[in-house]
Amino acid sequence: MHAHDEPACQSRRDFLLNGGKLVMLAAASAVTEAVWAQRAGHAPLAIARLSALKAGEPYYFEYPQAGDLNMLVKLGVPAGGGIGPQADVVAFSTRCTHLGGKLQDTLQAGLQVLGPCPRHLTTFDLSRHGVVITGHATASLPQVVLELDGDQIRAIGMQGLVYPDRSRHA
Amino acid sequence: MPEIQPVPLPPLGAEEISTACDYCVVGCSYRVWRWKVGAGGTANTAVPWANPSQHNIVQWQGQPHHVLVLPDPHARAVNPKGNHSMRGGTLAQKCYNPTNKTRERLTTPLLRVKGELQPVSWDTALDIMAAVSTHVLKRHGEHAWGVKAYSYQYFENTYAITKLALDAIGTPAFAPHDKCANSNDAAGLDDAGLEAFAPAYEDWGACDVLFLSGTDPFETKSTLFTSWIMRGEVPGKTLIFATPHRSMGVAWAEKRGGLWLPVIPGTDTLLHNAIARVIVERGWQDQAFIERWVAKRWEVDQGYGRGTRNTPSQWRTTWGTWQSDWDDFRQFLLSRDEHRLEHAARITGVPAALIERAAVLLARPRADGTRPKASFMLEKGNYWSNNYMNSASFAALGLICGAGNRKGQVIGRGGGHQRGMISSPGNPDWLSPEKHPGRRKKPLNLDRWLMDGQLRFAWVFGTTWIGAMAASDELERHIDRLTRGSPQQPQQATVAAAVTALIARADAGGMVLVDSDIYPVEPLGTRYADIILPAATWGEADFTRCNGERRLRLYNRFCDAPGQAQPDWWAVQGFVRRMGFGDKFAWKNSSDVFEEAARHSRGTPYDYFELVEQARRERVTGHEYLRRLGGDGIQTPVWRQGNSIAGTVRLHDPLTRQGEPGAFRNKLLSAFNTHSGKAMLLKTPWNFPGWSEFYAAVQPRSEKQELWITNGRINEVWQSGFDDIRKPYTATRGLPQMLFMNPEDARMRGIETGDRVRVSNDMVYVQTGMPFGVTESEMNFNSLLAAGHIRITQGSFEAVAVLDPGMRPGVAKAGFNGRGSHANAVCHAVPDPMTNNYRYKLGRGRIERLAAAAEKFDLKGSSLKPRGLA
């Protein structure tokens, strides 16, 4: 039996530092106990320079695979998982975890909110690990694990399941 | 953040089982994939994508099995293409699995011995209950034996429970989960001849303009909102919301040309009448519909359109206040000063321009002479603030706009819980000591009966009772006094010892409390119940019920119930056998109950009698026949069509066919539910003293810096809170009781988002005793107060403040029935004298900051953002 009653969460960094490694999506596996996805480290990707970010202006990038669109943003207030001197730089998937709606262009920067999703109006709180504010999603918005090396911001993993692109997974 | 768990794929050949959601009224279709743990095979990659909240491991026939519970990807009816809410989307995680927090399920009966709950056998628990009940009935009478029960948790259980209470015991001391008496919900709709659940979901999608009163279906009926209201046949429809909180659905509507009417709590009646007056002044009413479908004078006078019967609706004609025909109603609207725009704007708090704009959107004919198709949805914000007048004036507004019996032109409730009540025959209301003025009986107020010490034995099924009712703190004080506070407590876990102690308690004026539920309920079960019975629930037994468009489905069993948990109908059966009338409850299985209940569904909106008849003709059980209809089920009333059966899309529609010659005919199908088949216009004078005296008394007091304290449903925990605290994602998200406040109201009190606050009302009115009404004014607030029938009590609750600019100034809103935080504690337990229903939405209170709550700084927890960020 699986233990669903998880202990208090490790930080994503802890997870990665404690042996988290690449776990590729395995939807096509012939093994019925296959893992579809989980939090995972991925090959690092240099995204942007911290000094070039302006508060409230989103920067889009694909990660961990081509077509997986994410948004990097400096919120201006401390955020869960944020990096930088103010711990306010975060990045999230732009695909709604309810039914896969596209969240790009829905940033309400002053409120640290992504959404409402144009499909069913779910909103996510970017200052609190992408937790659902209100709506229908059954998981938080996947957060890109970031690392700061000098001025360089790198993506090094994902926390949470990205709603699948059905053309690739089904 | 919880670890993300692997989600396994089912093998090809995994069993697929259809069901529907356990939670809100919408009742989305779901599909369960089940396969044995460790089974090999080829993965079925055609199964829809699932996330960890949609997987669990359950026991099935004693063996561990994987289950995926997903919105049915093939659903056509309710949730096309597998749309879902957060509640339904996490259904898998409500299933019992002792390795997670569902291990808190009740698995065995419990008996409180020396103050501590101890496991006992079903035989012991039921033997004690039967012996104490036999004594109470003999010594104190059936009035002293009561039931407080959900009205929705499946036909099999509600039928068994009502057959026990209303028929076998024959007690008037019975109340459903959301009411203090066995009364109507939105009585004004009923008296107008409108069935609250007449509309179909397609109607809410097919209107051009939708007036929503006291509800945001985004919060409470998510898939109805996102699949039908946002989309449907007319996706560009305009929404008009009357509510003090600009939540997400309201904000979305406003951005698209809709209206937010930020009504002051309690004033909806005047808002409806002011809009209606603008419509009538300008001649925009649907005159052709009125001529054909609104009762004329002689039809009104034939017993309020219902014949001369001794019923509450008949009684309400006694004083001649309400009933009307078109000419009289028109005169009522035009002649009364308070219906003028400026006057109504001042009292309702809704700007005159918005009232006028609402009338334009609802009723102004287009250039080509056609009318916009207007529909009207109400819910508890409407009828739990001014029960009779708000629902009656709402019905009248809809009727003059031509709504009520046509596609896209309907009037009804959005709904709360699903429709799971089939009531047994037996109508012991005649035993009720309560009377309306005149000679008409009124259903008994169970809370007051308890507080007055009249109840000696109470059996509660699946409701918190305390938090759900008004003046919660006062109610709890009395339950405490009558149970835990009694010196007579069982000292040994034997039948003889427990029966002796509990009979002594009942004879000494105390109360014996039995609580049937799936989890220990705080505080009713954990602190006060003498006996707790473990119930089997959704997925653990075959059950049936209808959703908010009367769609009847089988909720299939797909996992084992934990321990000794059993469905409530089974517990009832075991009890009555010991009481000596078990032969009337001789069911072998759940389908037997369903089939027996069928004949008592006849004539109601949930009539499935012909389905059971059809099953008999095909030599299968009722449940088996329904199982074949799968996730789409059939809409009741069901009627016979040739060699088969057919369902009913909407009620009251004259285009609906009426079945075979000679078949049982149900007037609801094609006409309004009145004697004449026509709808009734009801006048609702603002100065009616049964309302106005109470409303004056409960106003927030400026000298105490009070605000209106209303309460409402929060999307993510609506009807699922008991599971949400145990589901990994929703629990991690955090579920504090929130108090939404206008930022200016908060600033004046030094309150920030994330602060813990206490809301307190030092004048909570509670009606006492069972006064008889004789003269017209006797049951109104001022007369009750003068006669000593109003007790002044106190109530308070704590919450985490959320500053929300979408909150109307002067009004704060808490989540309803919060765990450990009863917002109803600051609401008055003085029912509407017309209906005996509480006015739960009209609390008041002073708000004080206590300290910063942990949630204020916890970036891993719940979001404290405002709700309407469209």
Residues on chain B touching A117 (C-beta within 8 angstroms): none
What is the structure's pLDDT at B48?
86
Residue A167 has pLDDT above 50, yes or no: no
Size of interface A-B (CB pairs under 8 A): 179
Residue A11 has pLDDT above 50, yes or no: no
Closest residue by Cα to residue B244 from B743, B807, B698, B745: B807
Please give the Cα distance from B538 to B67 (Å, whole number).
Answer: 14
Residue A25 has pLDDT above 50, yes or no: no
- DSSP bridge pairs for B58: B65
Contacts of A22 (CB under 8 A, 6+ apart): A40, A41, A42, A43
Is the pTM value of this prediction over 0.90?
yes
Please give the Cα distance from B479 to B805 (Å, whole number).
Answer: 39
Give the Cβ contact number of residue A118 at 10 Å.
12
Q: Which of A11-25, A90-104, B71-85, B650-664 has the lowest mean pLDDT?
A: A11-25
What is the structure's pLDDT at A7?
27
Min Cα distance A75 → chain B (Å) is 14
Domain containing B742 equals: 689-856
What residue segments make up the domains of chain A, in order of their start?
Answer: 42-163
Whether residues B413 and B389 fall in one domain:
yes
Contacts of B482 (CB under 8 A, 6+ apart): B450, B453, B455, B509, B510, B511
Whether residues B814 and B744 fall in one domain:
yes
Residue A166 has pLDDT above 70, yes or no: no
Whether residues B656 and B738 fall in one domain:
no
Whether residues B214 and B359 fall in one domain:
yes
Type of residue found at A46: A
Please give the Cα distance from B726 to B722 (Å, whole number).
Answer: 7
DSSP string, B769-800: S-PBP-STTTTSHHHHHHTT-EEEEEEEEEEE
Q: Is residue B291 included in any domain, yes or no?
A: yes
Active site residue A42: no
Min Cα distance A31 → chain B (Å) is 6
Are the C-beta atoms of A58 and A107 separated by less than 8 Å? yes
Does the distance separating the beta carbons of A138 and B89 come in below 8 Å?
yes
Q: What does the block give as tokens for A127?
A: 């200052």
Give the domain A42-163 fold.
Rieske Iron-sulfur Protein (2.102.10)
Whether residues B176 and B193 fall in one domain:
no
Residues on chain B touching A30 (C-beta within 8 angstroms): 42-43
Q: What does the block give as tokens for B517?
A: 């539920």
Segment B188-204, tens digit of pLDDT: 999 999 999 999 999 99
Whether residues B179 and B191 fall in one domain:
no
Please give the Cα distance from B327 to B400 (Å, whole number).
Answer: 12
Whether A3 has its CB under 8 Å from any CB of chain B: the answer is yes
Active site residue A129: no
Segment B282-313, tens digit of pLDDT: 999 999 999 999 999 888 876 554 544 556 66
Last residue of a domain, one of B385, B418, B451: B418
Q: Is residue B382 included in any domain, yes or no?
A: yes
DSSP string, A93-137: E-B-TTT--B-TT-EEGGGTEE---TTT--EEEGGGTTEEEESS-
Segment B572-623, tens digit of pLDDT: 999 999 999 889 999 999 999 999 999 999 999 999 999 999 999 999 999 9
Segment B353-412, tens digit of pLDDT: 999 999 999 999 999 999 999 999 999 999 999 999 999 999 999 999 999 999 999 999
Q: Which one is catalytic: A4, A120, A129, A169?
A: A120
Does the distance separating the beta carbons of B90 and A138 come in below 8 Å?
yes
Give the phi and the psi of residue B748 in degrees, each rounded to 5: -60, -20
Tell me how many degrees the CA angle B139-B140-B145 measures, rounded to the nearest 5: 120
Contacts of B466 (CB under 8 A, 6+ apart): B472, B475, B476, B479, B523, B524, B822
Q: What is the largest CA-CA distance in chain A?
A: 48
Q: What does the block give as tokens for B573?
A: 């059966």
Residues on chain A touching B39 (C-beta within 8 angstroms): 32
CATH of the domain at B70: 2.60.40.4210
Q: Is residue B575 included in any domain, yes or no?
A: no
Chain B, nearest residue to A143 by Cα: B1
**Positions in chain B whose pLDDT score sits under 50:** 1-4, 305, 307-308
Whether residues B167 and B196 fall in one domain:
no
Q: Is residue B578 included in any domain, yes or no?
A: no
Closest residue by Cα to residue B599 from B631, B626, B638: B638
Are the C-beta atoms of B290 and B326 separated by less than 8 Å? yes
Q: Is residue B579 included in any domain, yes or no?
A: no
Does the distance separating the beta carbons of A34 and B859 come in below 8 Å?
no
Residue A15 has pLDDT above 90, yes or no: no
Residue A35 has pLDDT above 80, yes or no: no
Residues on chain B touching A138 (C-beta within 8 angstroms): 51, 53-54, 86, 89-90, 729
Nearest residue, CB atoms, B861 vs list A120, A128, A138:
A128
The mean of the pLDDT values for chain A is 78
Give the phi and the psi of residue A15 in degrees, each rounded to 5: -60, -45
CATH of the domain at B198: 3.40.228.10
Are the C-beta atoms of B201 and B549 separated by less than 8 Å? yes
Calculated CA dihedral for residues A60, A66, A67, A71, nearest 10 degrees: -20
What is the structure's pLDDT at B302?
67
Whether residues B458 and B314 fall in one domain:
no
Q: Is residue B437 included in any domain, yes or no?
A: no
Whether residues B66 and B168 fall in one domain:
no
Does the distance separating the beta carbons of B870 and A116 come in below 8 Å?
yes
CATH of the domain at B165: 3.40.50.740
Whether A66 has its CB under 8 Å from any CB of chain B: the answer is no
- DSSP bridge pairs for B18: B31
At residue A16 the predicted structure's pLDDT band, cuts being 50, 70 and 90, is very low
Q: Which one is catalytic: A42, A98, A129, A169?
A: A98
Three-state secondary structure string covering B799-825: EEEEECCCECCCEEEEECCECCECHHH
Whether residues B696 and B760 fall in one domain:
yes
Residue A13 has pLDDT above 50, yes or no: no
What is the structure's pLDDT at A54?
97
Instruction: For residue B523, say if its preceding peptide bond is cis, omega within 30 degrees of 0.
Output: yes
Residues on chain A touching B248 (C-beta within 8 angstroms): 116, 121, 123, 134-135
Min Cα distance B43 → chain A (Å) is 5
Whether residues B230 and B269 fall in one domain:
yes
Domain count, chain B: 5
Last residue of a domain, one of B95, B118, B134: B95
Whether residues B160 and B272 fall in one domain:
no
Q: Is residue B864 included in any domain, yes or no?
A: no
Element holding B844 (H helix, E strand): strand B843-852
Q: Is residue B816 included in any domain, yes or no?
A: yes
